C-alpha cells in the first residue's frame, strides 16, 4: 500500500506459508503448507487453473529454513532472508485442496546464515527441490538506528513460532 509516494506500514503484507510443523530436529524441519481456494492470489494465478505460484512454493521452503536458523540461534537475529537459490526444479502443480509437505535439511551453518537442502512434496511426488542459502542478520548491523526494530521483529518471530510450535507433539520436536 502506498501513501504519499512512500510505502505504508499500516497494512503490511506477510505471507505465512508454513501452516503446520510435523517434525523438527536441530538439522531438519518437516512442515506443511495447506493450499485453499480462498487465497486471493489464486484468482489471478490462473483464473481457470488455480495453482500455488512457484515463487510461493520456494518461499515456503525459505520460511521453513528460516525457522531452523531462528531456533538454532535462539532468535538472535531479526532477519532470515533468502540470499541464493540454486538448482531449483519444479515437478508438480500444487492446487487448492492440496497440502505441500516441505522438508528442509541443514547442510552448512555459518556465522552469517546457512545452506539448506530443500524439497516440497505433494503426497509422495516431488513438487520442487533446490539448495537454499539464507542470510541471518540484524538490521542494526547495517543501520544502527534500527536496533529497536530488531527487538520488535525478534519478539514478533518468537510469537509466530509459539503458534506454529503448538502443532508439534513433544515426541516430534527434538530440539
Task: Tell me if residue 156 is catalytic.
Answer: no
Q: What is the 3-state secondary structure (H, E, C) of 47-105?
A: CCCCCCCHHHHHHHHHHHHHHHHHHHCCCCCCEEEEEEEEEEEECCCCCCCCEEEEEEE
Cβ 65 vs Cβ 84: under 8 Å: no
Q: Please tell me which residue in 20, 45, 83, 92 is annotated as part of the active site.
A: 45
Separation of CA 15 from chain center: 9
> Counting beta carbons within 10 angstroms of the beta carbon of residue 6, is it exposed (0 to 12), middle (13 to 18) or buried (19 or more)?
exposed
d(CA 34, CA 36): 6
Question: Sign of torsion, CA 73 77 80 84?
Answer: negative
Q: What H or E segment, with its residue span, contains residue 164?
A: helix 147-165
**Residues with active-site annotation:** 45
Amino acid at each position: 500500500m502506498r501513501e504519499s509516494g512512500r510505502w505504508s506500514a499500516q497494512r503490511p503484507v506477510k505471507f505465512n506459508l508454513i501452516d503446520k510443523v510435523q517434525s523438527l530436529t536441530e538439522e531438519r524441519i518437516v512442515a506443511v503448507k495447506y493450499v485453499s481456494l480462498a487465497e486471493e492470489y489464486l484468482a489471478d494465478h490462473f483464473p481457470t487453473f488455480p495453482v500455488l505460484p512457484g515463487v510461493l512454493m520456494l518461499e515456503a521452503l525459505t520460511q521453513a529454513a528460516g525457522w531452523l536458523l531462528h531456533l538454532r540461534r535462539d532468535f538472535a537475529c531479526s532477519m532470515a532472508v533468502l540470499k541464493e537459490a540454486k538448482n531449483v526444479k519444479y515437478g508438480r502443480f500444487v492446487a487448492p485442496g492440496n497440502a505441500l509437505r516441505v522438508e528442509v535439511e541443514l547442510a552448512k551453518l555459518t556465522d552469517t546464515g546457512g545452506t539448506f537442502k530443500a524439497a516440497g512434496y505433494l503426497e509422495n511426488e516431488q513438487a520442487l527441490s533446490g539448495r537454499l542459502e539464507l542470510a541471518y542478520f540484524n538490521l542494526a548491523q547495517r543501520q544502527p538506528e534500527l536496533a529497536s526494530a530488531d527487538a520488535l521483529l525478534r519478539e514478533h518471530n518468537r510469537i509466530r513460532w509459539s503458534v506454529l510450535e503448538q502443532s508439534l507433539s513433544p515426541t516430534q520436536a527434538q530440539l
